[in-house]
Structure 1
Amino acid sequence: MPTMKLLERVRFTSHAFVSLYSAAYKAGILDTKQSLRTAVLTYAALARYRFTTAREVELGAAVCPARNALIDDEGVLSYKQLRDQSRTVAKWLLKLKHDQAIPTLRIAIMARNGRGIIIPMAAKGYSGGELFLINVGSSPEQLAGIISENDINVLFLDDEFADRLPGSRDNLTVVWAHTASPHGDELTTERIILNGDAGMPELPIFPKHGDIVIMSSGTTGIPKGVRRAEPILPFVIAGYLRAVPWTAGLTVQATASMFHIWAGLRPT
Structure 2
Amino acid sequence: MVTRTRMISAELNGLRAAVRAGMIGPMPPRALAAAARALRWYGPLGAATALPAHRFPGRTGLADDRGTLTFGELDRRCNALANALRSRGVGVGDTVGILCRNHRGLLEAMSGAAKTGASVLFLNTDFAAPQLRDAVDREGVTVLVHDDEFAAAADGLDLPRLTESDLDDLIAGADGAPPPAPSGHGSMVILTSGTSGRPKGAPRPQSRSLALPGGILSKVPFRGGEAMFVGPPLFHGLGLTSAVLALGLGSTLVLRRRFDAERVLDDLEAHRCTSLVAVPVMLSRILAVPGVRTRDLSRLRVVMTGGARLDAGLGGRALAAFGPSLYNFYGSTEASCITIATPDELAAAPGCVGRPPAGTTVAILGDDDRPVPPGTIGRIFVDTPARFGGYTGGGGKDEVGGLMAVGDLGHLDGGGRLHVDGRADDMIVSGGENVHPGEVEDLLAAHPGIGEAAVVGVPDEEFGQRLRAYVVAAGLTRDDVRGHVAANLARHKVPRDVVFLDALPRNPAGKVLKHALPDAAGPPPG
Question: What TM-score, normalized by structure 2, do the two folds share?
Answer: 0.43
Matches of 1:203 and 1:55, distance apart in 2: 12
Number of equivalent positions: 244
Q: After alignment, is 233-242 or 111-120 more displaced?
A: 233-242
Q: Does structure 2 retain, via aligned residues, the 8 Å contact 1:49–1:207? A: no
User: What corresponds to 2:386 in structure 1?
Assistant: 267
CA distance in 2, matches of 1:233, 1:106: 23
Question: Alpha-carbon deviations, 1:136-183, whole Å to 9, x = none?
Answer: 11111000111222231111101112221142x32x111113xxxxxx
Residue 119 (structure 2) pairs with residue 142 (structure 1): no
One-letter identity of the residue aligned with 2:386: P
Mean Cα displacement is larger for which, 114-123 or 142-151? 142-151
Structure 1 distance, partners of 2:15, 2:196, is 42
Letter in 1 for 2:44: F
**CA shift for structure 1 position 220:** 8.4
Is the aligned partner of 1:92 residue 2:92? no
Aligned counterparts, 1:52-131, within 5 A:
52=45, 54-97=46-89, 104-131=93-120
Indicate the residue corresponding to 1:203 in structure 2. Answer: 179
1:44 aligns with 2:32: no
Residue of 237, 240, 244 corresponding to 2:213: 237
Larger Rg: 2
1:153 counterpart = 2:142 = yes
Q: What's the TM-score, normalizing by structure 1? A: 0.81
* 1:163 aligns to 2:152 (yes or no): yes
| Post-superposition offset of 1:24 | 1.0
1:254 counterpart = 2:248: no
What is residue 13 of structure 2 aligned with on the other side?
19
| 179, 203, 218: which one aligns with 1:227 | 203
Contact 2:10 2:215 in 1 (8 A): no
SS of 2:181's equivalent in the other structure is coil
Could you tell me which of 136, 143, 168 is aligned with 1:190?
A: 168
Equivalent position of 1:214 in the other structure = 190
**SS where residue 56 of structure 1 aligns?**
coil
Deviations 1:189-217 (A, max 9, x none): 1111122239x9x8232552111111223
> Given the superposition, is the C-alpha separation of residues 15 and 206 from structure 1 closer, same or farther in structure 2, using an over 3 Å criterion?
farther
Assess, with a 3 A threshold, how the Cα gap between structure 1 residues 207 and 249 changes in structure 2: closer, same or farther: farther
Letter in 2 for 1:161: F
Q: Which has the larger strand fraction?
A: 2
Higher relative contact order (CA 8 A, sep 6+): 1
**Sequence identity (%):** 26
The 2-side partners of 1:65 and 1:42 are apart by: 12
Equivalent residue letter for 1:173: P
- The amino acid of 1:267's aligned partner reads A
Whether contact under 8 Å (1:131, 1:212) holds in the other structure is: yes
Q: Which amino acid aligns with 2:98?
A: I
Please tell me whether residue 173 in structure 1 is matched to residue 166 in structure 2.
no
Deviations 1:71-116 (A, max 9, x none): 1111111111111111111111111117xxx872210001111112
Comparing 112-121 and 58-67, the one that deviates more: 58-67
Moved more, 202-211 or 234-243: 202-211
Shift of 1:15: 1.3
Change (3 A) 1:248 1:164: same
Q: What SS does structure 1 have at the residue aligned with 2:203?
A: strand
Is the 2:117–2:184 contact (alpha carbons within 8 Å) kept by the matching residues of 1? yes
The one-letter code matched in structure 2 to 1:82 is L
Q: Which moved more, 1:214-223 or 1:80-89?
A: 214-223
Distance 2:43 2:83 in 1: 19
**Stretches of structure 2 lacking an aligned partner (at least 5 in a row):** 241-332, 338-384, 388-526
Distance 1:153 1:206, change over 3 A: closer
CA RMSD of aligned residues (A): 2.6
C-alpha separation in 1, matches of 2:27 and 2:179: 28
Are residues 91 and 35 of structure 1, via their aligned partners in 2, closer, same or farther at CA, if it must alter by over 3 Å? closer
Tell me how far 1:221 sits from its aligned partner: 6.7
Counterpart amino acid of residue 169 in structure 2: R
The ranges of structure 1 where at least 4 consecutive aligned residues each deviate by more than 4 angstroms after the TM superposition are 219-222, 263-266
Q: Deviations over 1:201-253 (max 9, x none)?
A: x8232552111111223258752111111112231011211222210101101
Amino acid in structure 1 at the alignment position of 2:112: A
Assess if the C-alpha contact under 8 Å between 1:97 and 1:104 holds in 2.
no
Quick one: distance in 2 between partners of 1:75 and 1:35?
Answer: 29
1:256 Cα deviation after fit: 0.8
Alpha-carbon contact 2:99-2:124 (below 8 Å) kept = yes
CA contact 2:84–2:170 (8 Å) conserved in 1: yes
Distance 1:165 1:226, change over 3 A: same
**DSSP-derived class of the 2:228 partner:** coil
Using the alignment, how far apart are the partners of 2:43 and 2:211 within structure 1? Answer: 12
Name 2:270's counterpart in structure 1. none
| 8 Å contact from structure 2 (residues 144, 162) kept in 1 | yes
What is the DSSP-based 3-state SS (H/G/I as helix, E as strand, rest coil) of the residue aligned with 2:114? helix
Q: Is the 8 A contact 2:99 2:145 kept in 1?
A: yes
Measure the CA separation in 2 of the matches of 1:194 and 1:42.
24
